[in-house]
Structure 1
Protein backbone atom coordinates (compact mmCIF):
# COMPACT_ATOMS: atom_id res chain seq x y z
CA UNK A 1 0.00 0.00 0.00
CA UNK A 2 1.33 3.44 -0.95
CA UNK A 3 1.49 5.81 2.02
CA UNK A 4 2.78 8.77 0.00
CA UNK A 5 0.57 11.88 0.05
CA UNK A 6 -1.49 12.21 -3.08
CA UNK A 7 -2.89 15.19 -4.91
CA UNK A 8 -6.53 16.05 -4.47
CA UNK A 9 -8.58 14.50 -7.25
CA UNK A 10 -9.35 17.28 -9.73
CA UNK A 11 -13.00 16.24 -9.66
CA UNK A 12 -13.10 16.55 -5.86
CA UNK A 13 -14.29 19.94 -4.65
CA UNK A 14 -11.97 21.66 -2.18
CA UNK A 15 -13.38 23.17 0.96
CA UNK A 16 -12.17 26.74 1.18
CA UNK A 17 -11.99 28.32 4.63
CA UNK A 18 -13.67 31.69 5.08
CA UNK A 19 -10.38 33.18 6.27
CA UNK A 20 -6.79 32.13 6.80
CA UNK A 21 -3.71 33.53 8.53
CA UNK A 22 -0.32 32.92 6.96
CA UNK A 23 2.63 33.32 9.32
CA UNK A 24 5.61 34.72 7.41
CA UNK A 25 8.02 34.72 10.37
CA UNK A 26 11.05 32.65 9.50
CA UNK A 27 10.56 32.81 5.72
CA UNK A 28 13.99 33.57 4.31
CA UNK A 29 13.90 32.39 0.69
CA UNK A 30 11.60 32.66 -2.29
CA UNK A 31 11.32 28.86 -2.35
CA UNK A 32 10.14 28.82 1.29
CA UNK A 33 7.63 31.57 0.56
CA UNK A 34 6.16 29.80 -2.45
CA UNK A 35 5.95 26.50 -0.61
CA UNK A 36 4.15 28.20 2.29
CA UNK A 37 1.73 29.84 -0.15
CA UNK A 38 1.18 26.51 -1.90
CA UNK A 39 0.28 24.77 1.34
CA UNK A 40 -1.83 27.52 2.89
CA UNK A 41 -3.77 28.41 -0.27
CA UNK A 42 -4.20 24.74 -1.23
CA UNK A 43 -2.39 24.95 -4.56
CA UNK A 44 -1.75 21.58 -6.23
CA UNK A 45 1.51 19.72 -5.64
CA UNK A 46 2.63 20.59 -9.17
CA UNK A 47 2.48 24.36 -8.45
CA UNK A 48 5.45 26.01 -10.20
CA UNK A 49 6.85 28.03 -7.25
CA UNK A 50 7.15 31.27 -9.24
CA UNK A 51 5.10 34.44 -9.66
CA UNK A 52 3.60 33.49 -13.03
CA UNK A 53 2.36 30.23 -11.52
CA UNK A 54 1.07 32.11 -8.46
CA UNK A 55 -0.96 34.46 -10.66
CA UNK A 56 -2.41 31.54 -12.61
CA UNK A 57 -3.32 29.79 -9.35
CA UNK A 58 -5.10 32.70 -7.67
CA UNK A 59 -7.05 33.81 -10.71
CA UNK A 60 -8.77 30.52 -11.31
CA UNK A 61 -6.89 27.38 -10.39
CA UNK A 62 -8.07 27.42 -6.77
CA UNK A 63 -10.77 29.40 -5.00
CA UNK A 64 -9.48 31.93 -2.47
CA UNK A 65 -10.81 32.49 1.04
CA UNK A 66 -12.69 35.73 1.68
CA UNK A 67 -9.86 37.02 3.88
CA UNK A 68 -6.12 36.31 3.95
CA UNK A 69 -4.08 37.80 6.78
CA UNK A 70 -0.31 37.78 6.49
CA UNK A 71 1.38 37.85 9.91
CA UNK A 72 5.00 39.04 9.97
CA UNK A 73 4.77 41.12 6.81
CA UNK A 74 7.59 43.47 7.91
CA UNK A 75 9.86 40.45 8.36
CA UNK A 76 9.12 39.33 4.80
CA UNK A 77 9.74 42.82 3.40
CA UNK A 78 13.12 42.86 5.14
CA UNK A 79 14.11 39.33 4.12
CA UNK A 80 12.67 39.30 0.61
CA UNK A 81 11.91 42.84 -0.58
CA UNK A 82 11.33 41.96 -4.25
CA UNK A 83 9.18 38.92 -3.49
CA UNK A 84 7.08 40.79 -0.93
CA UNK A 85 6.54 43.59 -3.45
CA UNK A 86 5.50 41.09 -6.13
CA UNK A 87 3.15 39.22 -3.79
CA UNK A 88 1.37 42.42 -2.82
CA UNK A 89 1.30 43.61 -6.44
CA UNK A 90 -0.40 40.39 -7.59
CA UNK A 91 -3.02 40.49 -4.83
CA UNK A 92 -3.68 44.17 -5.70
CA UNK A 93 -4.04 43.20 -9.36
CA UNK A 94 -6.42 40.36 -8.40
CA UNK A 95 -8.53 42.75 -6.35
CA UNK A 96 -8.61 45.28 -9.17
CA UNK A 97 -9.63 42.70 -11.79
CA UNK A 98 -11.94 40.45 -9.80
CA UNK A 99 -12.88 42.36 -6.65
CA UNK A 100 -16.06 43.68 -8.23
CA UNK A 101 -17.44 40.14 -8.26
CA UNK A 102 -18.73 39.38 -4.76
CA UNK A 103 -18.03 35.66 -5.08
CA UNK A 104 -14.38 36.33 -5.98
CA UNK A 105 -13.67 39.08 -3.46
CA UNK A 106 -10.66 38.39 -1.25
CA UNK A 107 -9.52 40.88 1.38
CA UNK A 108 -5.79 40.73 2.03
CA UNK A 109 -4.37 42.13 5.27
CA UNK A 110 -0.65 42.71 5.86
CA UNK A 111 0.34 42.75 9.54
Structure 2
Protein backbone atom coordinates (compact mmCIF):
# COMPACT_ATOMS: atom_id res chain seq x y z
CA UNK A 1 0.00 0.00 0.00
CA UNK A 2 1.40 3.38 -0.99
CA UNK A 3 1.86 6.30 1.37
CA UNK A 4 -0.77 8.27 -0.52
CA UNK A 5 -3.37 5.54 0.02
CA UNK A 6 -2.49 5.40 3.73
CA UNK A 7 -2.84 9.18 3.97
CA UNK A 8 -6.18 9.02 2.17
CA UNK A 9 -7.47 6.63 4.83
CA UNK A 10 -6.05 8.75 7.66
CA UNK A 11 -7.44 12.00 6.28
CA UNK A 12 -10.75 10.27 5.51
CA UNK A 13 -11.05 9.16 9.13
CA UNK A 14 -10.18 12.67 10.35
CA UNK A 15 -12.80 14.14 8.01
CA UNK A 16 -15.34 11.64 9.29
CA UNK A 17 -14.65 12.75 12.87
CA UNK A 18 -15.05 16.38 11.84
CA UNK A 19 -18.36 15.47 10.17
CA UNK A 20 -19.91 14.49 13.51
CA UNK A 21 -22.04 17.59 14.17
CA UNK A 22 -21.26 18.53 17.77
CA UNK A 23 -17.87 16.81 18.02
CA UNK A 24 -16.50 18.21 14.78
CA UNK A 25 -17.72 21.70 15.56
CA UNK A 26 -16.17 21.55 19.02
CA UNK A 27 -12.85 20.42 17.57
CA UNK A 28 -12.80 23.17 14.95
CA UNK A 29 -13.87 25.91 17.35
CA UNK A 30 -11.74 24.57 20.21
CA UNK A 31 -8.59 24.70 18.11
CA UNK A 32 -9.36 28.17 16.84
CA UNK A 33 -9.92 26.82 13.33
CA UNK A 34 -6.34 25.52 13.19
CA UNK A 35 -7.75 22.01 12.70
CA UNK A 36 -8.87 23.18 9.26
CA UNK A 37 -5.35 24.45 8.53
CA UNK A 38 -3.88 21.11 9.58
CA UNK A 39 -6.34 19.29 7.33
CA UNK A 40 -5.47 21.61 4.44
CA UNK A 41 -1.79 20.68 4.77
CA UNK A 42 -2.64 16.97 5.12
CA UNK A 43 -4.81 17.08 1.99
CA UNK A 44 -2.14 18.98 0.05
CA UNK A 45 0.52 16.40 0.95
CA UNK A 46 -1.86 13.58 0.04
CA UNK A 47 -2.65 15.30 -3.26
CA UNK A 48 1.02 15.66 -4.18
CA UNK A 49 1.76 12.02 -3.31
CA UNK A 50 -1.29 10.87 -5.27
CA UNK A 51 -0.14 12.80 -8.32
CA UNK A 52 3.35 11.29 -8.06
CA UNK A 53 1.86 7.78 -7.78
CA UNK A 54 -0.64 8.38 -10.61
CA UNK A 55 -3.58 7.71 -8.29
CA UNK A 56 -7.03 9.27 -8.09
CA UNK A 57 -6.95 12.82 -6.74
CA UNK A 58 -10.65 13.66 -6.41
CA UNK A 59 -10.77 12.90 -2.68
CA UNK A 60 -7.78 15.10 -1.89
CA UNK A 61 -9.05 17.94 -4.09
CA UNK A 62 -12.40 17.80 -2.34
CA UNK A 63 -10.56 17.75 1.00
CA UNK A 64 -8.66 20.93 0.10
CA UNK A 65 -11.94 22.57 -0.89
CA UNK A 66 -13.48 21.40 2.38
CA UNK A 67 -10.61 22.84 4.42
CA UNK A 68 -11.09 26.21 2.77
CA UNK A 69 -14.90 26.36 3.14
CA UNK A 70 -15.63 24.33 6.29
CA UNK A 71 -15.76 27.42 8.50
CA UNK A 72 -19.31 27.96 7.19
CA UNK A 73 -21.79 26.28 9.59
CA UNK A 74 -23.81 23.38 8.13
CA UNK A 75 -21.96 23.69 4.80
CA UNK A 76 -18.83 22.52 6.61
CA UNK A 77 -20.62 19.48 7.95
CA UNK A 78 -21.75 18.40 4.48
CA UNK A 79 -18.32 19.07 2.97
CA UNK A 80 -16.58 17.03 5.69
CA UNK A 81 -18.95 14.13 5.13
CA UNK A 82 -18.51 14.10 1.36
CA UNK A 83 -14.73 14.47 1.71
CA UNK A 84 -14.58 11.52 4.10
CA UNK A 85 -16.55 9.32 1.72
CA UNK A 86 -14.52 10.31 -1.34
CA UNK A 87 -11.19 9.88 0.45
CA UNK A 88 -12.11 6.42 1.71
CA UNK A 89 -13.34 5.35 -1.72
CA UNK A 90 -10.19 6.59 -3.45
CA UNK A 91 -8.03 5.10 -0.69
CA UNK A 92 -9.58 1.68 -1.22
CA UNK A 93 -8.85 1.59 -4.94
CA UNK A 94 -5.74 -0.11 -6.22
CA UNK A 95 -3.11 1.94 -7.96
CA UNK A 96 -3.34 1.91 -11.74
CA UNK A 97 0.12 2.52 -13.06
CA UNK A 98 0.69 3.18 -16.70
CA UNK A 99 3.48 1.11 -18.22
CA UNK A 100 4.67 2.45 -21.51
CA UNK A 101 6.64 0.32 -23.95
CA UNK A 102 10.31 1.40 -24.02
CA UNK A 103 10.07 2.76 -27.57
CA UNK A 104 7.19 5.16 -26.71
CA UNK A 105 8.92 7.16 -23.99
- Tell me if TM exceeds 0.5: no
Q: TM-score interval w.r.t. the shorter chain?
A: 0.3 to 0.5
- What TM-score results when the alignment is normalised by the length of structure 2? 0.33
Report which of the two has the higher share of helix: 2
Q: Which structure has greater strand proportion?
A: 1
Greater relative contact order, per chain length (Cα 8 Å cut-off, separation 6+) = 2
**TM-score, reference length from structure 1:** 0.32
Which structure has the larger Rg?
2
